């Protein structure tokens, strides 16, 4: 039996690798390849996936690992960064999409319970897919990227709550008695886990982290252990996995744990999506094509429009609203999990799972191209989107004060520039997209502006014609090229200093008008060689340099700065 299961999974994974390779050539998310693989190995085609119980168990492990990693990323800092716009956009989009989706479902002839499930499933967008696409575009740290991730996490919260409610209330016991009992258990478990998370885990984390293998083992044990405990107490495995992640989110090693768990999650999630594809029912697929097309058009057009309207109401530019809106033009893995759960508890037929999976394939494929080519699409729609932009609010946000220097990006490098600007007693402005950074600068009484240096319209609001120097610590060549272009159009004599980590990129930046390109990797050796030229073999002079650096490092440490440990950390 074990040999047969191994043989089946081996064949399935080989097929998945071939199909997903083709999908990647087409620049589509790999999730589409997994679902298509599920279709191919189902009884309707190759009939390879016969050990459905084993594959279903693996898929459940994948869902638990997914929620565990979601919990790991729900740190207080991330929750704080949601902001008002992320909360309102996330909740507002869920409400409007579910209401309109329900109306469409009823109009198409689906029953009330089917319409409710379909409507809710249409509201959720894929955090995993969007984060991957934004990461590929290097847009995770942009203004629209931050807002998008914020409201997608809000959606995840709502999705998790709904999944928990359905799996819990599907229990045959009386709903009122069960709810009261679960609430009491939940309060007790919450108190215990809060104590453990706040007082015990931080003290033990250093011990766990001394061995990378043991940290990995502990993380798995903690996640599975709480998942089993919550199932024993009457909750679902999913909520146990989520809570396990949240309890570890305040650990300084949460990102390391998350990175170690992702390959394991990816493997089991592959089998989850393959299992979904294999469960699709084709008996009435002809009857599902028309509703699938209607729902897909609603997701690809209606969802972005809802977000654009909400963003406009809060004074964001039409460009930001458009870019954020495109990130909700697909359904998520939570949508498929929700429908699969509805089938499992007997609320839905397999045909509904087929319908929503088709919608998922169409919208994920469509939204991927929309996001990849968003900057090329935007100019064609810009004038029509003006309808949703509150121009009066944008005018109030314009900067009227003139500055000698503008610093784009306050981070480890930007900190030193601010110190230098202050010593020069020049008027300067700091532009950054991190709300926490802006709060710190305000407390330091430093003139600052919250904005995205990738936003051409935002740059137009800055008085670039009067500046004498612009410094960008942003390591993205595309952003720096835009800055150089904007400044050189109105200011030929300004000093423009930018950062690069690539020699070829540095030469391009110079050719486009940069005055100086700072390359941190080469700067250290150049600096220390200058010190040697200056001091020769004078030990006392080097001791003075040592004291200066130690004072500087202490100052950096006191304000929370850490030196990157790898090249990847600079991003």
Instruction: Give the range of the structural domain holding residue 420, as residue numbers without chain letter.
Output: 395-570
The structure tokens 């835009």 sit at: 482
Rounded to 10 degrees, the C-alpha dihedral 562/137/494/379 comes to -150
Chain segment 155-211, per-residue pLDDT in tens: 877 887 787 777 666 554 545 555 566 667 777 887 888 788 777 877 776 677 667
Question: Which residue in 257, 219, 363 sits closest to 303, CA to CA?
Answer: 363
Whether residue 474 sits in one domain with residue 332:
no
Q: What is the pTM of this model?
A: 0.58
Whether residue 265 sits in one domain with residue 290:
yes
Whether residue 506 sits in one domain with residue 420:
yes
Which strands make up the sheet holding 495-499, listed edge to edge? 448-450, 428-432, 405-408, 469-472, 495-499, 516-518
- CA dist 555 to 95, 348, 411, 550, Å? 48, 61, 14, 9
Chain segment 186-198, per-residue pLDDT in tens: 778 878 887 887 7
The structure tokens 């109306």 sit at: 103
Look at residue 571 in the predicted model and tell me its pLDDT.
34
- Residue 228: other Cβ atoms inside 10 A: 12
Whether residue 399 sits in one domain with residue 383:
no
Whether residue 327 sits in one domain with residue 199:
yes
Whether residue 280 sits in one domain with residue 138:
yes
Rounded to 10 degrees, the C-alpha dihedral 188/193/198/203 comes to 140
494/171: higher pLDDT = 494
Whether residue 406 sits in one domain with residue 383:
no
- Which phi and psi angles does 250 have, rounded to 5°? -85, -5
Whether residue 77 sits in one domain with residue 157:
yes
- Check pLDDT > 90 for residue 294: yes
Domain termination site, one of 344, 371, 388: 388
Whether residue 449 sits in one domain with residue 358:
no
Q: Which two tokens stand for residue 510?
A: 């110079």
Whether residue 164 sits in one domain with residue 19:
yes
- 413-424: b or e for each residue (b if 16 or more CB lie within 10 Å)? bbeebbeebeee
- Residue 440: other Cβ atoms inside 10 A: 16
Whether residue 406 sits in one domain with residue 348:
no
CATH number for 439: 3.40.50.720
Domain termination site, one of 388, 420, 437: 388
270/104: higher pLDDT = 104
Q: How many domains does the structure of the chain reveal?
A: 2
CATH number for 178: 1.20.1530.20
| Alpha-carbon gap, residue 33 to 45, rounded angstroms | 16
Intra-chain end-to-end CA distance of the chain, in Å: 48
Domain termination site, one of 329, 364, 388: 388
| Alpha-carbon gap, residue 281 to 20, rounded angstroms | 22
Question: Which residue in 224, 226, 222 sits closest to 214, CA to CA?
Answer: 222
Whether residue 484 sits in one domain with residue 524:
yes
């Amino acid at each position: 039996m074990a040999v047969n299961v191994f043989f089946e999974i081996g064949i399935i994974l080989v097929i998945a690798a071939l199909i997903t390779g083709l999908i990647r050539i087409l620049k589509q998310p790999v999730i589409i390849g997994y679902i298509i693989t599920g279709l191919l190995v189902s009884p309707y085609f190759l009939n390879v996936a016969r050990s459905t119980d084993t594959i279903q168990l693996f898929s459940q492990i994948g869902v638990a690992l997914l929620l565990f990693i979601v919990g790991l990323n729900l740190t207080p800092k991330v929750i704080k960064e949601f902001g008002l716009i992320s909360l309102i956009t996330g909740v507002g989009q869920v409400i409007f999409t579910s209401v309109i989706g329900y109306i469409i479902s009823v109009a198409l002839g689906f029953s009330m319970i089917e319409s409710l499930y379909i409507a809710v499933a249409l509201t959720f967008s894929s955090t995993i897919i969007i984060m991957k696409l934004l990461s590929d575009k290097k847009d995770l740290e942009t203004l629209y990227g931050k807002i998008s991730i914020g409201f997608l996490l809000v959606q995840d919260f709502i999705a998790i709550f709904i999944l928990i409610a359905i799996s819990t209330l599907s229990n045959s016991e009386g709903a009122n008695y069960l709810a009261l009992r679960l609430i009491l258990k939940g309060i007790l478990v919450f108190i215990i886990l809060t104590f453990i998370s706040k007082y015990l885990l931080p003290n033990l984390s250093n011990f766990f982290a001394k061995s990378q293998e043991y940290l990995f083992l502990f993380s798995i044990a903690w996640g599975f252990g709480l998942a089993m405990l919550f199932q024993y107490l009457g909750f679902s495995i999913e909520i146990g996995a989520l809570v396990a992640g949240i309890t570890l989110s305040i650990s300084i090693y949460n990102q390391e744990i998350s990175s170690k768990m992702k390959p394991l999650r990816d493997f089991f999630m592959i089998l989850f999506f393959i299992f979904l594809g294999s469960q699709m029912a084709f008996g009435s697929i002809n009857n599902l094509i028309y509703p699938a097309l209607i729902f897909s058009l609603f997701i690809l057009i209606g969802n972005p429009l809802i977000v654009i309207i909400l963003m406009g109401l809060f004074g964001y530019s039409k460009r930001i609203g458009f870019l954020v809106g495109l990130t909700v033009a697909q359904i998520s893995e939570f949508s498929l999990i929700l429908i699969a759960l509805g089938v499992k508890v007997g609320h839905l037929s397999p045909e509904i799972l087929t319908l929503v999976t088709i919608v998922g394939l169409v919208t994920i494929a469509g939204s991927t191209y929309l996001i990849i080519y968003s900057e090329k699409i935007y100019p064609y729609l810009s004038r029509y989107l003006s309808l949703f932009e509150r121009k009066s609010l944008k005018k109030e946000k314009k900067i009227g004060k003139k500055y000698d220097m503008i610093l784009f990006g306050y981070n480890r490098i930007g900190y030193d520039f601010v110190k230098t600007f202050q010593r020069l007693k020049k008027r300067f402005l700091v532009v950054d997209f991190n709300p926490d950074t802006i709060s710190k600068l305000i407390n330091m009484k430093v003139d600052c502006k919250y904005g995205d240096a990738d936003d051409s319209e935002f740059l137009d609001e800055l008085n670039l014609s009067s500046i004498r120097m612009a410094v960008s610590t942003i390591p993205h060549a595309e952003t720096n090229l835009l800055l150089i272009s904007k400044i050189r159009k109105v200011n030929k004599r300004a000093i423009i200093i930018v950062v690069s980590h690539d020699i070829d990129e540095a030469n391009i930046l110079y050719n486009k008008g940069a005055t100086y390109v700072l390359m941190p990797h080469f700067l250290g050796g150049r600096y220390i060689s200058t010190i040697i030229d200056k001091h020769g073999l004078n030990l006392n002079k080097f001791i003075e340099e040592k004291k200066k650096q130690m004072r500087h490092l202490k100052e950096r440490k006191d304000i929370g700065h850490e030196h990157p440990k790898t090249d990847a950390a600079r991003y």
